[in-house]
Structure 1
């Protein structure tokens, strides 16, 4: 997404040819930074950025990101990224004229449970492939983006269902040929590798509702709880005898927006008290990296890596 992530990948031993600069929002000097280090794969969605790529990353592959009329995901991108298909065709032709190697990219939104969204994207891309070829530009690459969902409180389709839809759509809209595919899975790869443990700071009554305040909130780990989009699981640590009851869950800061869930129904043990702990499974994605660097003086989330290597 930027020079810092590129540098981190290279430090960890990634080959520059294996890296893709997938953020269409980038400064010219950041394009030059990547190109000078061997990156040759970029994504774009605007004329100015395509021009920057032509100047600072000559001859590179560029996937033009098209916006889709597809079902909303749990955390949709809105109109921040992607261009309309007609503009996408113009950008493909513009990129080719600049000596770049154009392809098409789309993203159906993060945490997308509707597998049909990929069929819409592939159909849109196939039409652009055909229109570009009719104007003398033959494209070979299709970036399917990410969005493959992981299970939190509600079930999502298995990866096999996504794969089946994609395979069928490719056969339908690209008959007789198969474009080179790229994918950008994020959450589905790492979410279940992480567990976040939080401590109860306070339990209080606010009118008829029981509020449970945690030592993590929207500003130090749970940014995706904004608008209650991602509903994480909360599991009490240790024994809690007796019944559970409804709660509002909130973070610890002085910000009134630091409320996690007050519409989404949650129940936790009535015995829950200050100092008790809760585990949040499936938090390996978009938690530690989202944490603020010191809002209200709260330090970023500490991360501990626990694993088994070899045959141990």
Structure 2
């Protein structure tokens, strides 16, 4: 094995997507393409009748090339140029997300009559990788933007996101409650977009997906007792993470207390989510015997390319250069985050298996 690679089982993607759709009957499920844009992954998602959350031109073109109906594409990125809006509209996209007046004015001009969901800024429980305050606006401002959008001929909804890898099943309640409160102000909502954020188990376990679906259903029933607007969800990680395993090898073991173990994959060629040690992946080796603490690092000459030095990891004392290491649960936000050629290292290769692998 000369290079690390990500192996994705598309049958697992299909099964997880089918489970997700079944847990949210009647909802518009839009897979977040950015999590893993492999064509075979998109084909697996398409097979269960789901659509796509797209962030720009390239993802729109990719989804349409795989046979997606443009009516099932939701342009979820609030940050977009006028030309990008015009491109999306010309290719049949009619659903967008926004959080700024200038963007709404651009949508009214370049995507007339479209559905725009105003993204709320909420104080949801902490997720593993939160968005901070980059996206969304306060509820009062969202109400003003929604009314302005209606005046400009757009249809409106509300959107929110509880942060990526959100472990708390109750985290979605505050967004649902806020949407209901704004709807009570006389705002007719054609959509409530509750985003993604559904987690998977890495080293720490999370509740089953059904528990999140149940909590969301309960919140919708409580705050929209007469029926809620059509629901849209943007799952990414939850559909593809468990379908992928990275196969990497040890480049160097440097003795010490603790040992340093350098892999041929690091923060710049696939493991970007180890920044701040946010995502703690499991590591599997073929070595047996006693283990000891290690600091894990990537292969580049950058001093920040260190994966885990605060999070405790132990690996076999017999580990040597050339040994294979597997990283399960790595199907999301790995290959799509890899740099083009930092230090001359190629982007993380992706290989697919399963019935969609050669579609």
Fold agreement, TM-score > 0.5: yes
Of residues 291, 299, 305, the one that matches 1:244 is 291
The yes-or-no answer on 1:72 pairing with 2:126 is yes
Equivalent residue, structure 2, for 1:130: 184
- When the two structures are superposed, what TM-score results if normalisation uses the length of structure 1? 0.95
The CA deviation at 1:179 is 1.3
The CA deviation at 1:308 is 3.9
Equivalent residue, structure 2, for 1:163: 213
Q: Secondary structure at the match of 1:303?
A: strand
The yes-or-no answer on 1:120 pairing with 2:174 is yes
Of residues 136, 142, 146, the one that matches 1:92 is 146
CA deviation string 1:169-198 (max 9, x = no partner):
011100112210000000000101111011
The yes-or-no answer on 1:110 pairing with 2:160 is no
- RMSD between aligned alpha carbons? 1.1
- How many residue pairs get aligned? The number is 303
- When the two structures are superposed, what TM-score results if normalisation uses the length of structure 2? 0.83
| Ranges of 4+ aligned residues in structure 1 off by more than 6 Å | none
Of residues 300, 303, 306, the one that matches 2:350 is 303
Q: d(CA) in 2 for partners of 1:211 and 1:297?
A: 23
The CA deviation at 1:205 is 2.9
The yes-or-no answer on 1:230 pairing with 2:279 is yes
Q: d(CA) in 2 for partners of 1:257 and 1:76?
A: 21
Task: Give the structure, 1 or 2, with the largest relative contact order (CA under 8 Å, sep 6 or more).
Answer: 2
The CA deviation at 1:139 is 1.4
Q: d(CA) in 2 for partners of 1:128 and 1:281?
A: 42
Q: d(CA) in 2 for partners of 1:278 and 1:43?
A: 40
Q: Secondary structure at the match of 2:235?
A: coil
Q: Secondary structure at the match of 1:202?
A: strand
Equivalent residue, structure 1, for 2:254: 204
Q: Secondary structure at the match of 2:75?
A: coil
Gaps of 5+ in 2: 1-54
Equivalent residue, structure 2, for 1:216: 265
The CA deviation at 1:288 is 0.5
Of residues 180, 204, 212, the one that matches 2:230 is 180
Equivalent residue, structure 1, for 2:68: 14
Q: d(CA) in 2 for partners of 1:54 and 1:241?
A: 63
Gaps of 5+ in 1: none
